Structures are given as C-alpha cells and as structure tokens.
Amino acid sequence: MTRLLDIQNLSVTFGGLHALKDLNFHVDEGEIVGVIGPNGAGKTTFFNMISGMVTPSSGQILFEGESMIGLDPNQVTQRGISRTFQNVRLFANMTILENVMVAQHCRTSRGVWGSLLNTKGFRQEEKEIREHGEKVLGFFGSRLIGYRMDQPASVLSYANRRRLEIARAMATKPKLLLLDEPVAGMNPMESAELTDLIGKLRSEWGFTIVMIEHDMDVVRDVSDRVVVLDHGETLAQGSFDEVSTNPEVIEAYLGRPLEKRK
Amino acid sequence: MFPLTSAVQVKGSRRTTVDWFLVLIRVVLISLIVVGILAFIAQQIDPENAFAKWRNPGANRLTAAQFKGLVVTGLSQGAMYGLIALGYSMVYGVLGFINFAHGEVFMLGAFTGFVTSNKLAEAGLWEGAAFLPSVIMTAILAALIATGAAVLMERVAYRPLRGSPRLIPLITSIGVSFFIQNAVILLFGPGAKSYPSNPEWLQQKRSILTFEVEGTKILVLIVAAISMAGLWFFVERTKTGKAMRAVAEDKEIASLMGINVDRTIVTTFAVGGAMAGIAGILWGLLFRSVIATTGFLPGIKAFTAAVVGGVGNLGGAMAGGVSLGTAEATAPLVLLEPLGVDGVSQLRDAVAFTLLILVLLIKPTGLFGERLSSEDRA
Amino acid sequence: MTAASVPNAAPALLPADTSIDWNRITRFGGLLALGLVFISLAGMPLGLNQRTVIEPVLSLGYLALMWLPFLAGYNVGNEIVLEGMEATKKGPRDLLGGLIVGAIGGVGLSILVLLIDNFDLRDPLVNWSPQLLEFLNFENGVGFGSWIWIPFCGLLGLAGASLQLMSQTMRRAVMTVILAVIVLSVFEFLIIDIVDPLKKVLYAQQGGLKWGAAIVVAILAAAFSLFGREPISQVRSNYNDATGPEKSRQTAVLIGLSVLALIVIPMFTGKITQELLANVGIFLLLALGLNIVVGLAGILDLGYVAFFAVGGYTTAVLTSSNRGEDWPSWFPSEIHWVLALIATVIMAGIVGLIIGAPVIRMRGDYLAIVTLGFGEIIRLLFLSDWLNGYFNGAQGITNIPPADFGIFEIKGTDPRSVFYLVLFFAAISIYVSWRLERSRLGRAWMAIREDESVAEAMGINTVNVKLMAFVVGAVLASFSGAIFATKVGSIFPTSFLILVSIIILVVVIVGGMGNIVGVIVGAFVLIGVLGGPKQPGLLQEFSEYKLLIYGALLIWMMLKRPEGLVPNARRSRELHQDEFLQDAWLKGEVDDAVPDSGDVDGTVAPA
C-alpha cells in the first residue's frame, strides 16, 4: 500500500498556545483511520489544517508525495481531500441537489461563455454534474432523492443533514475523505447503518477515510487503525484493541488517579 | 509573516494571480509614497535639487511655520474625527455592524449648533466673556439632540434587525443616513449655513511650544480631550461602562449575568451620539459653515479612523482620528505636490479615501488591535 | 418521537387580551403627530399643492398629509398575535383606537398652526411660512385651522381602522378604488400621452381628475374588484399550476407579449413617455448588473456607480470631438459607437478587476465601505484639475455624437431610439443573468452567499468566482454608461455621485434581490414614478422629495420586507429562516420529528 497522506512534525500555535505539537501521522491508501481523543485535544484543528483552513506554524503535510502547506482550502479539495464539518454546515437555502452539484465545482470547467451560449459541452457537463449528484445522493437510499432533491437543505432532519454533508463531500470526487464526527446526534440504529455505509465508502467508492469520532462502537467497527490525540500530541496509535487498553489513553479520558498526581 | 500580507489572509506562501496583483498594487503605492517623501525631503534641503525638480518643476521649500500650521490643523481636525470615530467603534464593538448614519448624527449636532449659536449671537452672547458659557451650553444642547437622534435611530431602525445577516443593518443604516440628510435639506433648505464669527480673543494666535496655534484650534483640542477623558472614565470606571464591555464581549452571556442588553445598547448609541454631537459643534467652530451633506465625508473619515485604531478600541479610535487628520492635512503638500500632482487641495478627500482603502487592505484589524467578540470577528 | 403529534393535539389557546392598549395608542399617536409635523415643515403639502388629484375637491398637497393618519389608524389595530394566544377579534375598540390615534396626530398639526401663528422660526426652518399656515387653515383663518385637524385626522384614522373590520373582499375593493383614483390622477401625463382623447373625458383643464370622472372610475374599480377578480386569479392559478413544457410555453408567451408591448407602446406615445422609458431603461440596465453582484453573489458593492462612470467616460473619450487635450495623437478618437462600446466593455472589465481584486477578500461590510470609497475616488479623479487635460474636469466632455447605424441613428433628441437600444441591451443583460443563475457559476455564487468558508472547502475558488461577479456586473453597468453618454451627448462628473449607487441599490432591494422580474418591476416603479438621481419621473412634483422617499423606502424594506416586493424564493427563505422553518414544520415538510427508521431503503417521507 502506498502512503496517501503523510504528516511530519506538524505544529500549530494560536497566540502562544499549542493546539497541535509535533504531530506525526500517516494514512495509507484504502485505510480507514479513526482519530479519537478527549474534547479540546486538537482533533478539529487537525482537520482544519489538512483541509487548508488553518496554516500550520511548522511541519510538513504531504499528500501523494506533494506538499500541501500553503494551499488554499479549494486547492486542497481540488487535489482530492474533502471533508465534513462537526457542526453540520450545509448550504441551507440551496436545494439538496444543488448542494451536491455545487460541490463538483472544482471537477468541472465550463465558464461564462459556455452557459451564455448554451453550448453542447455545457449541456453535457450540466447533465453529468446532475447525474453524479443523484448518484451520490442515492448512496443513502431513497432519503435524499426523489421529490426531496428540489427541497432546500434546511428542511432536512439532523441525521439527514449529516448524510447530505457526507454526500456533498463525496461529490467533490476526493481520494481522501475527512469525516468529522459523522454519527454525532444519531440514534444507535442510524449510527449502525452509517457505520456500514462508511465501510462501503471504501469498498464500493474506493475512498480512503480519516474519521474523528466519539462513538467507540463506530470507531471499533470500521477503523483499521486508531490514533489518539491529547493536548495536541499523539498519545498512541495502533489497532482499536491495542489503543483501548493503553493505560495512557485511559488516563487521558478518565483522568489520572489521585495518588499518582505530583 | 510580512506585515503587509496579513490583511488579505494569505494562507501560506503560494500565491494566486490575485495575490501577485495585490502585491503589485502595494509595491506601487508604497514606492509612490517613498518617492514622494524623498522628493519632499530633497525640496526641503534645496528646492533646486534635481530630484525635487524631477516631478514637480515648481518645487518650493515649505517653511517650518507652514509645516507646523499643517500639523496643528491636522491635529484639531483629527481630534474631531476621533470623537466621531468613537461612536462607530463602540457600535461596531457591541453590535458588529457599521452604523453608516453616524455621520448624520454628527451633522445634526453641527446643525443644532448652527441654530443655537445664531440665536445666542442675536442676543449678543456669542462674544466676550459670555462666549465660553455659550459654547458649553451649545455643546450640551448639540450633544442632547445628537443623542436623541442616535437613540431614536437605534430604536426604530436597528433594534428590530438584531440577529439578521450583518449586511441588512448596514443597508438600513445607509437608508437612515440618506433619509436624515434629505430631511435636513427639506427642513432647513439646501444652502450652506454659517455660524456667527468667533470672538476676537479666540481667533488670536498663541504660541505653544514654538507652535503658533489659533485659539479656536486650542479650544477644539481641549474640548476633545475633556470629552475623551469623560468617555474613558465612563467606560472604564462606571458600572454601565462595564456592562457595555460585557455586552461587546458576548451578548448572551452578558444577559445571563443580569445585564439589560437592550438598555446597554441604547447607552452605547447615546454615548456615541453625544460624542458626535460635540464633534459637530467643534466642526462649526472650526469651519463656521454646515450643510446637510456635512456628515458624509467626516463620517467616512471617522470610520477610517476607527479602523486605523482597531474597531472596538476607544483609545485607538482617538489615536486613529488624530493620525488620520494629520495625514490628511499634510499628505497633499508633503506627498502629492512633490510627486507633481496638480491641484492637490482638491484631492484631499481622495487622499482620505485612499487612506481608508489602504488601511482596510493592509491592516483591517487596526494599528492598536481590535476588540470584538468572536461572533463579530468572522 | 411523539413530539410530531403536537400540532394536532394543540393545547387550548389563551384568550386574547381584549383590553385597550393605551400605551400603543399613545405611541402611534405621538409618532403620527411627529410625522405630520415633519411632512408639513418639510414643505411637502405646499410643494405638492399645485397638483390636483380630484378637481376641485382634493389636491396632492392635502393627500400628502391625509394618507398618514389613515395608515396609522389601519395599523394601530394590527397587533402581533403572540404565540399561544387566540387571534384578536377586530371590533369597536379598534375603531376607537383609530379615532384616538388620528386625533392625537391632529393635535400635533393644531399645535403647529398655533406655533406658526405666534412665533417666527422662518430663520432656520425654510417652510415655516404664512403660506403653510394658510394651507393648514384651509384658508379659513387660524380660529378654524387650530381645531379642524383634530376631528379631520380622527375621522381619517377611524376610516383606516374600519378597513380592519371589513371582510377581505370589501377591503380589497376599497383599496382598489383608492388606488385606481390616485393612480389615474397621478399618471395623468402618461395616460394622456398614450391615449390623447381621454384628456377631455377624464381630466379637468388645469389638471386633476374631474370629480364626475373620479366617481365613474371608483365605481368601475369597485366593480372590477368585486366581480373581475375571479377570472384573473383563475388565469394566474392556471399559470402557477402548469408544469413542464406547458409552463415554459406559457412563460414564453408571457415574455413575448411583454416584449411586444414594450416595442409597440413607444411608437404611439409622445416624447415625455419615451424619455421616461429611456431613463428607466438606463437604470434598469444598472440594476440588472448590480443584481448579479448583490443579489446573486451577495457582495454589497456601494461603488457600483464607478463602472457606470467608466463606461460613460470611455465612450465619451473615444467618440467625442471635444475631449481633453492631453490625449496622445495616436489615441483613437471620434470612432464609431459600436467600436467604442467594445472598448468600453473591455475597459469596464479591467476596472472591475482592478477595483475587485483588492477588496474581494475583505469581510462584507468593509467591502461595502471600500467600494464606496473607490466610487468616490473615481469621480474625484474625473473632476480633478490633475486629469483636467484628459477629462475636462467639471466642464465635462461634450459633443458626443449620436450613434450612427446607417439606417437609423441613436441620439438624445430621439428618446425612442435610445429606448430601443436600451431594450436590446436589457434583453442581453436579462439573458446573461438568467443563464448565469442556472449555471455552475451561479451555483457557486449562491454557495458563497450562504457560507463562504464552506464553499471554499468544497473546492470553489471563491476569489475567482467573486471577481467574476464583479466583472460581469461592471460590464453590464458599462453598457448603461455607454448609452447614457450617447443619450445625453455630454458627460459630467456630477452625474456619477454616490447617490446613484444607492438609488440603484434601492431599486434592486425594493424589487427583490436576486430576482430578475423583481428588478425590472422595481426599476419601472421607482425610476418611472419617482425618477432617477437627476432624471424626473412621472411624479415631477415629487423630485424634491424623492431622495427622502428613497431613504425611507430603503429603511422600510429592510425592516418589513427585506426580500423585496417580488421575492426570490431562495432569498426570502434566507432572510426569514425561522419563520420558514416554522411554516415547513407545520406543513409537515420538515422531517425533524419523523422517526427515522434504520432501514436504508425505507421511505421517510412524511405523510
């Protein structure tokens, strides 16, 4: 397996505060990696950094061997990394179909002239955008397609918004998918279903996935490898079983027993 | 990072075409400024200097007295801008939108001054020993009217819009500004209104630290300093001031702490309005003429000053006002004339606008740091 | 999950509060009094008194005061129903409220009468005059004037309030009658211009509807409102219900008919109407361009007039024989209008890029102020002595020749030709807006308007896409500038004040941001009726007050209908997010409360 993403000695500071410190991390092609850690461990900052929304103060991010440092978020997406957000951020007043259509912006190219002259290429491209959009929506069963497609995203239920956000990320045709707490706010049945689908994202769509998740069942079920972050540092990595029995990890989550404190 | 790039939030070292274009603009502007200042220095040393003659064949040495005069003019105008800027700064700090109509509040203050001062002058109270009490009375009246206008504006136009997308109150305030301007034109007529002339003893020049300063400008500076001190005391030392700062930080939390957010916001508008009203009187004393559109340019300039000083930062607003005033007063002769631009005094306002654009382009967070809540910073 | 059934099993509503809300009444009354005094002192009644609405009963001057108590009386009973309360029933207390509110307003005017009679404040207040006193006294002496407004305004308030008590049909009928009479009288010039014989039938010699004609009009309007509404709503619902090809066929017919009307009407009208249409067209072009920038991409550009100015000046420099003297000899001069237009478009695009590039990354409100600054700088440069040799400063560039197309000529003295040219370019602009809105670019603009940082994370190069909106807007504005220069034949910096930007913004906002039809309607209504920054509209008497009205309109629209008169569905959703969600929830469209079963294929559509 080849290295898809390789992060070396990555640090970021906000006003003297280390959000991430000397982080080393890698993802191989076809892997599903779970990122866990207590609140404030720097997980979302970690995602923001990969997706170009935050510039690291030092270190290197290599994607397919090329440095991603200094790229704008849209360039990162263009290279093939797409993400979802912890607090679902859809284009609430665009329709469901438009949400996934607009995500294909960087994969398409027709500009002003094509649309003004309504050229054959333009119509062809619009058709393809639409079809691909319907295809990614169809991945979640019939929930997001049919009459729903032309409704604004704001009418969706919480769980469906999360699904649509994943669909939108899929629509950018990424190689690496970053899922930020994909099952947060879902009931056990829904999250079990989504866990299945995350597996399918790899087996059927061929995405490599990095996932931040608090739900340990989900992490256990889909992750090949788990990375634990705490205070901006990697605390442990390995299979779920290794990590979950690691005393340091337990300590990070549950706190240090009183007598061990200095 | 190179300080000039922070404004456009370049996320790294790789630049797009637009970034290169921006860098080009900056380089051109900065080299123009540097050349202009160098040419000015050259002309000060020797007007016949080849470099000074290069762009401006009519180069002439500026005397020290002229230069000091420019600086004093700049300072007194700047103090006025600073007073207006306080209102912009406070409202932006608390509500997160630009109250475009704040310049109109200032204009209303100046108009109140015009009416009151003329009435007082008719009664013979705008001269001699009665002048100072008259000015104080006029200033208080102007501050009251301006406060009333600002509070009414908040109540009628802005309060219903709290929580709507941030451009909506901005557009509304443009409407308010437009409305007030034209209402004043209709009520008082479109022509320029003059203040009565200032008493002799005020117009005399006095010498302070080798600066020959006209009495009016000293008065302006003193009034501005007193108002600023009063405001500082109010915001930093009183309970209401604390409430204001708390609301600026986070409205929701503040209301959970038992602070009446509505009333605090009204207070903010009132205090900002009072400062603008006083600034209006100062305008009247300095220029002795006011028209309905008087509020527009000082308003924009004061907003620039607020940004220069860092929005939400009161001391910064005052400092921003003073530096903007000085820059505006000196730039035409120090920068533009050595560059060979004709009719520089016409371009004074263009200078102010260019400064505004430069500041927002290069350092939108201001020289002295923004103080905004995180929701407004987005 | 049982929360879903709440709407069905709503708990009993609290009874509505039926006491008289004195607080509200005094507040309304106070505001009304202030408003009436303001209108009087602003000079509106006197300025408008020249114009008669119904001869010899009613002049526009009195109308300017009368509508306000009427409206206040109507609105005082129009309370917001609090959630969980029964809707208040309209009854006598609303009538009482209207009466009192009107009377309080009248007291304001009475006090004004007494004040004017006893004090002379003419020094600061220009309209504090004996003429105003005379007007307010109905030319019957102070004794009469000091009390008559109280019962008069009271009755108007009562009339307004009684509208609330009427059935929907009746209310509509009354409104239609009032509107019909006012519109017919106010649009006198237009109507005579189109159908000359009507002059003798409808209007009195010195202007204004004849009172007999007014009664006939009122009866016709009432009849129409009571019996003619049905077929119209039938047609409309037919159109709304149509789908697919049938709908597009009907739309095509509708568009075809309106275009035909616009082509045919100017052939039968006089110069005044043609001039008016040409002015409307020029501002419509500007508004369509700004609509792309503000409405679609969500960029508040307050310096939009800059592109208008650049378009006008470029055309002027290239075609005029009297441009500045400092232009190098090789620089093309007095070239054909079409060539100049091409150059103008390119120039506008470049200026759009130059202005757009630095500002495009700023946050929205700073961008607004900076573009405003750019708009002023460009005007100041055209005005300055520094560039006097190029643009003639305040003297402007004159001698701009007509655009010569061989068989016909476009020139200012023939406003019809200008209008046709404008129509042609408006068609282009509308097509451009319509196509772009439904393209990849349009979707990207929408996404940026919604959430810029997410749009960027989804692979949209926000800088390029926003710049594109800027440039497209600039190009559309430059069309307008080029036509404007040719129409007027000369060009001055004073035509490009910031207030032009603001008026166009009002047009876009009143019409409905992001809605092409809305913008067209807005331009016709506002520019046509009130007039442009310097161009008179149908209400020529209003030109003194139009800027005030524009300001008031802007505030009122933002407070009450930020989505505009003809809203774009999406935009209005954005602006009324909460209400929309509530409605959708009540209609069962939101699936929030619907149990979301685990099976992938199960349909979760609500019943």
Using one digit for the tens of pLDDT, what is the confidence trace for C591-600? Answer: 544 444 433 3
For residues C264-277, average pLDDT? 82
**Chain B positions in Cβ-Cβ contact with residue A72 (cut-off 8 Å):** 11-12, 16
Average pLDDT value for chain C? 83
Looking at the fold, whether C299 and C408 belong to one and the same domain comes out as: yes
Give the gyration radius of chain C's Cα atoms. 28
Q: Give Cα separations from B92 to A18, B85, B95, C451, C562 (angstroms).
A: 31, 10, 5, 22, 22
Looking at the fold, whether C209 and C315 belong to one and the same domain comes out as: no
**B interface toward A at CB cutoff 8 Å?**
11-14, 16
Chain C interface includes B360 (CB < 8 A): yes
Size of interface B-C (CB pairs under 8 A): 164
Q: Let me know if residue C430 belongs to a domain.
A: yes
What span, in angstroms and rounded, lies between the C-alpha atoms of A259 and A246?
Answer: 19
DSSP annotation of C44: H
CA nearest C570 in A: which residue?
A93
pLDDT at residue C146 above 50?
yes
**Chain B positions in Cβ-Cβ contact with residue A76 (cut-off 8 Å):** none
ipTM: 0.89
The domain that holds A171 is classified in CATH as 3.40.50.300
Average pLDDT value for chain A? 85
User: pLDDT band at residue A244, thresholds of 50, 70 and 90?
Assistant: confident
Answer yes or no: do A69 and B12 touch at CB < 8 A: yes
Residues C13-67: tens digit of each pLDDT: 666 666 777 888 888 899 899 999 999 998 888 888 888 888 777 888 888 888 8
Q: Let me know if residue C237 belongs to a domain.
A: no
Q: Let me know if residue B298 belongs to a domain.
A: yes
pLDDT at residue C520 above 50?
yes
Sign of CA dihedral B254, B258, B260, B264: negative
User: pLDDT band at residue C576, thresholds of 50, 70 and 90?
Assistant: low
Copy the structure tokens of residue C397.
């560039």
Name which of B8, B168, B356 is nearest C370 (Cβ-Cβ).
B356
Size of interface A-C (CB pairs under 8 A): 148
User: pLDDT band at residue C244, thresholds of 50, 70 and 90?
Assistant: confident
Which of B1-5, B327-331, C87-91, C144-148 shows the lowest per-residue confidence on average (mean pLDDT)?
B1-5
Q: Are strands C58-59 and C52-55 parallel, antiparallel or unpaired?
A: antiparallel
For residues A199-223, average pLDDT? 89
Domain enclosing residue A46, as ranges: 3-260
Chains that touch B (3 or more CB pairs under 8 A): A, C
Residue C195 identity (one-letter amino acid): V
Q: Is B104 helix (H, G, I), strand (E, B) or coil?
A: helix
Residues A186/A190/A194/A195 CA torsion (nearest 10 deg): 90
What span, in angstroms and rounded, lies between the C-alpha atoms of B127 and B201?
Answer: 9
Buried b (16+ CB within 10 A) or exposed e, C339-358: ebbebbbebbbebbbebbbb
Q: Let me know if residue C34 belongs to a domain.
A: yes
Q: Let me know if residue B127 belongs to a domain.
A: yes
User: pLDDT band at residue C481, thresholds of 50, 70 and 90?
Assistant: very high
* Positions in chain B whose pLDDT score sits under 70: 1-16, 58-59, 342-344, 372-378
Chain C interface includes B178 (CB < 8 A): yes
User: pLDDT band at residue C604, thresholds of 50, 70 and 90?
Assistant: very low
Looking at the fold, whether C392 and C459 belong to one and the same domain comes out as: yes
Q: Let me know if residue C305 belongs to a domain.
A: yes
Q: How far is B351 from chain C (nearest CA, A)?
A: 9
Which of A241-245, B77-81, C174-178, C564-568 shows the lowest per-residue confidence on average (mean pLDDT)?
C564-568
HSE, CB side, 13 Å, CA atoms: give it for residue B171. 34
- Report the domain count for chain C: 2
User: pLDDT band at residue C1, thresholds of 50, 70 and 90?
Assistant: very low
Residues A2-19: tens digit of each pLDDT: 888 888 888 888 766 777
Q: Let me know if residue B1 belongs to a domain.
A: no
- Report the domain count for chain B: 1
Q: Give, for C100, the enclosing helix (H) or strand (E).
A: helix C92-118
Buried b (16+ CB within 10 A) or exposed e, C164-187: bbeeeeebebbebbeebbbebbbb
How many Cβ atoms from other residues are within 10 Å of residue B130's Cβ? 15
Looking at the fold, whether C220 and C296 belong to one and the same domain comes out as: no
Residues C500-517: tens digit of each pLDDT: 999 999 999 988 888 888
User: pLDDT band at residue C248, thresholds of 50, 70 and 90?
Assistant: confident
Domain enclosing residue C288, as ranges: 270-527
Residues A47-93: tens digit of each pLDDT: 888 888 888 888 888 888 888 888 888 889 988 999 999 888 888 88
Q: Let me know if residue B223 belongs to a domain.
A: yes
User: pLDDT band at residue C12, thresholds of 50, 70 and 90?
Assistant: low
Domain enclosing residue B126, as ranges: 62-377
Answer yes or no: do A55 and B12 touch at CB < 8 A: yes
Looking at the fold, whether C310 and C225 belong to one and the same domain comes out as: no
Task: Give A166: exposed, middle or buried? Use CB within 10 Å, 0-12, 13-18, 19+.
Answer: buried
Residues C271-318: tens digit of each pLDDT: 888 888 899 999 999 999 999 999 888 899 999 999 999 999 999 999
Answer yes or no: do A70 and B16 touch at CB < 8 A: no
CA nearest B115 in C: which residue?
C124
Please identify, among C202, C232, C262, the residue that sits at the C-terminal boundary of a domain. Answer: C232
pLDDT at residue C161 above 50?
yes
For residues C562-586, average pLDDT? 66
Nearest in space to C164 (alpha carbons), one of C63, C79, C69: C79
Q: Let me know if residue C607 belongs to a domain.
A: no
User: pLDDT band at residue C214, thresholds of 50, 70 and 90?
Assistant: confident
Name which of B170, B186, B342 is nearest C548 (Cβ-Cβ).
B186
- Under 8 Å CB-to-CB from C140, ≥6 apart: which residues? C148
**Chain C positions in Cβ-Cβ contact with residue A189 (cut-off 8 Å):** 597-598
Answer yes or no: do A112 and C600 touch at CB < 8 A: no
B276 Cα distance to chain centroid: 9
- Report the domain count for chain A: 1
Percent of chain C past pLDDT 70, that is, above it, reads 88
**Chain C positions in Cβ-Cβ contact with residue A108 (cut-off 8 Å):** 440
Task: Give C35: exposed, middle or buried? Use CB within 10 Å, 0-12, 13-18, 19+.
Answer: middle
What span, in angstroms and rounded, lies between the C-alpha atoms of A78 and B28?
Answer: 33
The domain that holds B200 is classified in CATH as 1.10.3470
Q: Is C430 helix (H, G, I), strand (E, B) or coil?
A: helix
Which DSSP string do the residues of B182-201 spell out, in sequence order? HHHHHHH-SS-EEPPPPPHH
Helix H, strand E, coil C: the string for A105-127 is HHHCCCCHHHHHHCCHHHHHHHH
pLDDT at residue A137 above 50?
yes
**Residues paired with residue A81 on neighbouring β-strands, in sequence order:** A176
Q: Give Cα separations from B83 to B238, B321, C499 (angstroms).
A: 20, 8, 26
Q: Give, for B125, the enclosing helix (H) or strand (E).
A: none
Answer yes or no: do C602 and A141 touch at CB < 8 A: yes
Residues C448/C449/C452/C455 CA torsion (nearest 10 deg): -40
Q: Are strands C209-210 and C52-55 parallel, antiparallel or unpaired?
A: parallel
CA nearest C562 in B: which residue?
B168
Q: How far is C445 from chain B (nearest CA, A)?
A: 17
User: pLDDT band at residue C590, thresholds of 50, 70 and 90?
Assistant: low
What span, in angstroms and rounded, lies between the C-alpha atoms of B248 and C441?
Answer: 38
Q: Give, for C409, the enclosing helix (H) or strand (E).
A: strand C409-410
**Chain A positions in Cβ-Cβ contact with residue B165 (cut-off 8 Å):** none
**Chain A positions in Cβ-Cβ contact with residue B14 (cut-off 8 Å):** 70-71
Looking at the fold, whether C225 and C277 belong to one and the same domain comes out as: no
pLDDT for position C143: 84
How many Cβ atoms from other residues are within 10 Å of residue B190's Cβ? 13
Q: Let me know if residue B317 belongs to a domain.
A: yes
DSSP annotation of C15: P
Q: How far is B209 from chain C (nearest CA, A)?
A: 37
Determine the angle formed by the axes of helices B102-122 and B296-309, rounding to 10 degrees: 120
